[in-house]
Structure 1
């Protein structure tokens, strides 16, 4: 695990996310699916893996290409298997969220962090993607270094820890246009409703996880 980049040029590998691509997000129901988070994370603690921080402030938006990956990345963090071999997602965690689709409105250039060669291009290994929450200060620092060496990159894409081999991504709000995403209203499920919880449970079943709203039977 290298914590400081070597003093040589970093050459991140990039790929294009084309206009028209569909993304899924598990987001706060109180905010539109297209909203970027404007609140920077602390430099050392809390937050997410590639959030903007005080020393590199940028709005950020996490998404996935499949609805299950979006759910898993948001709801299955540190959820252990119970005595029955399934993972119950706390209702308080899920009920304020929605699962929604958005469509990309313009081509977006992303740094690829998928293969070992992609990681080597930024002087890293799988630690960058596998480290737990206690290392997010370092992963955010590394994201800043990647951004510095890839000034045209509008986000990054990597393999999801919680739904392999599918991919998750983050977009940088300071490098995207005014409206890089457009909501697809017909594909949105409020998880705080029975309909939304049922849809989420259909998706989560292969990962042996479930939501249990008050009044719903297993």
Structure 2
């Protein structure tokens, strides 16, 4: 921890005119943070000092495809070849929204010089699939503790390199600071067609079973 705290790590600013594209479960509101359930690339996020507690997180992206790749499409193994199948039943458990932050967000960039300073490569932190989340998630807790001014992390999507992905720290960004500007269900016909087009562009296929 002390070594990370001594590093000078670059930040990126997510401005108030840049929308956050979010894929969320249909049973929660678009701006709701994950309280610590399940496992992801950078969660569960926890405090490193006692008492240990979970810190809520919210994933998003700079585009619909980027957001899909961090949620609905994230189960694709890193070495998969060809269109990856996603069951329709699973897809319809999610919906799409865009969020506008009411203030600029200060995000720690997981790329370039920062990765080199941390002694990491993309292949270690950003490209491994779900089987490696137990190894990648603790980095979020380390960086959260070492960088108290950071509102979250930002990186280039492993599955769609034209998109940025981000995770926000729920103890530094409040739900009231994220305004829902658009919501869409993936139920047919309109939302379903939007999902099918995005899936095809990202190299996925929605299957009936």
What TM-score, normalized by structure 2, do the two folds share? 0.84
Q: 1:44 corresponds to which residue? A: none
Q: Does residue 30 of the first structure (1) align with residue 22 of the second (2)? A: no
Q: Does residue 191 of the first structure (1) align with residue 186 of the second (2)? A: yes
Q: Deviations over 1:125-174 (max 9, x none)?
A: 21111223232222221111111221110100001011113210000010
Partner Cα separation in structure 2 for residue 77 and residue 167 of structure 1: 14
Q: Deviations over 1:79-101 (max 9, x none)?
A: 47xxxx53331112111110111
Which of 59-68 and 158-167 deviates more? 158-167
Structure 1 contact 122–146 (Cα < 8 Å) conserved: no
RMSD of Structure 2 on Structure 1 (CA): 2.4
Structure 2 contact 107–151 (Cα < 8 Å) conserved: yes
Q: Deviations over 1:38-82 (max 9, x none)?
A: 1255xxxxx0011114745211000001011112222223447xx
Partner residue of 1:113 out of 104, 110, 113: 110
Q: Does residue 88 of the first structure (1) align with residue 85 of the second (2)? A: yes
Partner residue of 2:201 out of 203, 206, 213: 206
User: Structure 1 stretches of 5 or more lacking a match?
Assistant: 42-46
3-state SS in 2 of match to 1:141? helix
Question: Are the structure 2 counterparts of residues 38 and 205 from structure 1 closer, same or farther at C-alpha, using a change threshold of 3 Å?
Answer: same
Structure 1 contact 56–144 (Cα < 8 Å) conserved: no
CA shift, 1:28, in A, is 0.6
CA shift, 1:35, in A, is 0.7
Structure 2 contact 4–146 (Cα < 8 Å) conserved: no
Q: Does residue 49 of the first structure (1) align with residue 41 of the second (2)? A: yes
Runs of 4+ in 1 over 4 A off after TM superposition: 4-8
Q: Does residue 143 of the first structure (1) align with residue 173 of the second (2)? A: no
Partner Cα separation in structure 2 for residue 177 and residue 170 of structure 1: 13
User: Structure 2 stretches of 5 or more lacking a match?
Assistant: none
Q: 1:123 corresponds to which residue? A: 119
Question: Are the structure 2 counterparts of residues 132 and 95 from structure 1 closer, same or farther at C-alpha, using a change threshold of 3 Å?
Answer: same
Return the index of the structure with the highest Cα Rg: 1
What TM-score, normalized by structure 1, do the two folds share? 0.81
**Matched positions, count:** 199
Partner Cα separation in structure 1 for residue 90 and residue 108 of structure 2: 30
CA shift, 1:178, in A, is 5.2
Partner Cα separation in structure 1 for residue 128 and residue 9 of structure 2: 20
